[in-house]
Amino acid sequence: MTQPVTKVLVIGYVWPEPRSSAASGHVMQILETFLQQGWDITFSSPAGPGEHKADLSALGIREVSIELNNSSFDVFISELAPDIVLFDQFMMEEQFGWRVEKHCPEALRVLETSDLQSLRHARHQRLKDRLKANSDQDDFSELFAPALREEFELMADTDLAKREIAALYRCDLNLMISEVEIDLLVEQFGLPRQLLHWCPLMIDLPGAPPAAFTDRAHFVSIGNFRHAPNWDAVLWMKSIVWPLIRQQLPQAQLHIYGAYTPPKATALHNAAQGFHVMNWAEDALQVMSAARVCLAPLRFGAGIKGKLVDAMLCGTPSVTTPIGAEGMHAGQPWPGAVALSATELANQAVRLYQDETQWQASQLAANTLLGERYQRAVHGQALIEKLRDCQLNLPTLRANNFIGSMLRHHAHKSTQYMAQWIEAKNRNTSPT
């Protein structure tokens, strides 16, 4: 007997732009994994299309625009009757979770987190506090290696953490990109480990050998300028890190690429200093493959970093901080260098740029790391198996998650009434 095709509804905070952000790239990897199973996929979002939106329809994925606080979604999801609903970012679970539960109670509810936003925001605040308290712009080692308990204490009283972690509890399964974040949630926040599934960036190993040391030039940095950690890294490079590199390599150039380049970023461009703000890269892998060293001096952030996986794919050694490398190499040698200060970042970057032997060793480390931790075939299969297991055992899974049931009861009622009030208000104030 032919098995019915699994129907998946994805509710996205934005439409995917895989060439603009790693988060969108991860969503596309998940969608491609579903397509390989022959699943029927509908992607919906209340957002407008961005400048670099992926053409999902060309892949056979149905695209549907939806509205916030509008009962038209109830009709839409009732007619679609999905087997799995994937919320892309916890805000979408807040907005639509109660409607999904009401109209498709048997659908498996999955949250794709990309990173823990509450962790990223808490770390950003810690950086701001550090900059106010200490004018030293070189050594940030105290920010880079906190114990999980310190991270918990930093997050626990924030509204964002309470909202985000409540959404994790309300879902049947949560896709986590970082093992560090899984440990934080389980060991400090007390989430059941069975609610969390490790799903890192999923890539196919490169077939052709990467460009050689002598065929490359310049430093490169890539990142969406709308993402606060990337913008902070650009500012730190401009003011501190890059001048230290130029002291040792007076002719060096840094090429910075990023989607949605704001005027404040363009204003930093200075060819005389070798600091080139290049706007958006049409092909990030091509740009990365031409560079000799990738710079990613991140002072805060969460999740794992797509730009650093891209660097590995291109055989480009990277120089980053413990924040950049977090959750990415599990104790394996880093394919480049990890540094705690601007001085060390600059020294390591210069060393890799000049030392072909060390550069080649870093390139080999990248190949090893990709093969051990990021293969699409491995993680794609594990994701499908986990989803099927959750579907088969859904009643037991939900019975064992009383906290999630309790949170859905209270939070969804309040969200439902607020949404209905907003819809009624909009109806009464709309022109006739």
Same domain, 328 and 193: no
Same domain, 172 and 65: yes
**Rounded distance, CA 198 to CA 211, Å?**
32
Radius of gyration of the chain (CA): 23
Token couple for 337:
């260098």
**Rounded distance, CA 305 to CA 264, Å?**
24
pLDDT in tens, 234-249: 999 999 999 999 999 9
Question: Quick check: 3 and 354 in contact, CB under 8 A?
Answer: no
Q: Specify the pLDDT at position 314.
A: 96
Question: Quick check: 279 and 261 in contact, CB under 8 A?
Answer: yes
Q: Has residue 131 been placed in a domain?
A: no
What are the residues whose beta carbons fall under 8 Å from the beta carbon of 370, sequence distance 6 or more? 203, 205, 309, 312, 313
Least confident span in 50-54, 87-91, 416-420: 416-420
Structural domain ending residue among the three candidates 334, 353, 374:
374
Token couple for 18:
């895989």
Same domain, 190 and 229: no
Q: Specify the pLDDT at position 416.
A: 62
Q: How confident is the prediction for the chain on average, in pLDDT?
A: 93
Q: Specify the pLDDT at position 7.
A: 98
In this prediction, residues 97-121 reach a mean pLDDT of 96
Same domain, 254 and 330: yes
Q: With b meaning 16 or more CB within 10 Å and e meaning fewer, what string describes 408-419?
A: beebbeebeeeb
Q: Has residue 138 been placed in a domain?
A: no
Token couple for 303:
């999740």
Q: Has residue 24 been placed in a domain?
A: yes
How many CB atoms within 10 Å of residue 113? Answer: 27
In this prediction, residues 387-397 reach a mean pLDDT of 97
Place of tokens 């939806």: 66
* pLDDT band with cut points at 50, 70 and 90 for residue 413: low
**Rounded distance, CA 344 to CA 78, Å?**
57
Q: Specify the pLDDT at position 397.
A: 96
As a whole-number percent, the residues of the chain with pLDDT over 70 amount to 95
Q: Taking 80 as the threshold, does the pLDDT of residue 423 lie above it?
A: no
Within 145-267, where are the H helices?
Answer: 148-155, 159-170, 179-187, 228-236, 242-248, 263-266
Same domain, 352 and 381: no
Q: Among candidates 154, 148, 158, 144, which has minimal Cα distance to 186?
A: 148
Number of domains forming the structure of the chain: 2
Q: Which position has the higher pLDDT, 208 or 429? A: 208
Domain that holds residue 332: 213-374
Question: Quick check: 23 and 114 in contact, CB under 8 A?
Answer: yes
Q: Specify the pLDDT at position 426.
A: 72
Question: Quick check: 237 and 221 in contact, CB under 8 A?
Answer: yes
Q: Specify the pLDDT at position 168.
A: 98
State the CATH number of the domain containing residue 184. 3.40.50.2000
pLDDT in tens, 212-227: 999 999 999 998 888 9
In this prediction, residues 366-386 reach a mean pLDDT of 96
* pLDDT band with cut points at 50, 70 and 90 for residue 281: confident
Same domain, 178 and 320: no
Q: Specify the pLDDT at position 323.
A: 96
* pLDDT band with cut points at 50, 70 and 90 for residue 408: confident
Amino acid at 349: A
Question: Quick check: 196 and 112 in contact, CB under 8 A?
Answer: no
What are the residues whose beta carbons fall under 8 Å from the beta carbon of 394, sequence distance 6 or more? 106, 108, 172
Residue 314 to residues 290, 309, 371, Cα–Cα distance (Å): 9, 9, 14
Q: Taking 90 as the threshold, does the pLDDT of residue 22 lie above it?
A: no
> Burial, 11: exposed, middle or buried (Cβ in 10 Å; 0-12, 13-18, 19+)?
buried
User: Measured in Å, how far apart are the chain's first and last C-alpha atoms?
Assistant: 53
* pLDDT band with cut points at 50, 70 and 90 for residue 409: confident
**Rounded distance, CA 168 to CA 93, Å?**
9
Q: Has residue 207 been placed in a domain?
A: no
Least confident span in 268-282, 305-319, 339-353: 268-282
Q: Specify the pLDDT at position 428.
A: 67
pLDDT in tens, 136-146: 999 999 999 78
Amino acid at 192: P
pLDDT in tens, 115-166: 999 999 999 999 999 999 998 999 999 999 789 999 999 999 999 999 999 9
pLDDT in tens, 334-357: 999 999 999 999 999 999 999 999
Same domain, 23 and 155: yes
Structural domain ending residue among the three candidates 374, 391, 417:
374
Q: Specify the pLDDT at position 52.
A: 87
Q: Has residue 239 been placed in a domain?
A: yes
Token couple for 291:
């560079």
Q: Has residue 133 been placed in a domain?
A: no
Same domain, 358 and 389: no
Q: Specify the pLDDT at position 50.
A: 86
Q: Taking 60 as the threshold, does the pLDDT of residue 201 lie above it?
A: yes
Q: Taking 70 as the threshold, does the pLDDT of residue 432 lie above it?
A: no
pLDDT in tens, 29-51: 999 999 999 999 999 999 999 88
pLDDT in tens, 61-100: 999 999 999 999 999 999 999 999 999 999 999 999 999 9
DSSP string, 383-423: HHHHHHHHHHTHHHHHHT-HHHHHHHHHHHHHHHHHHHHHH
Token couple for 154:
């930093």
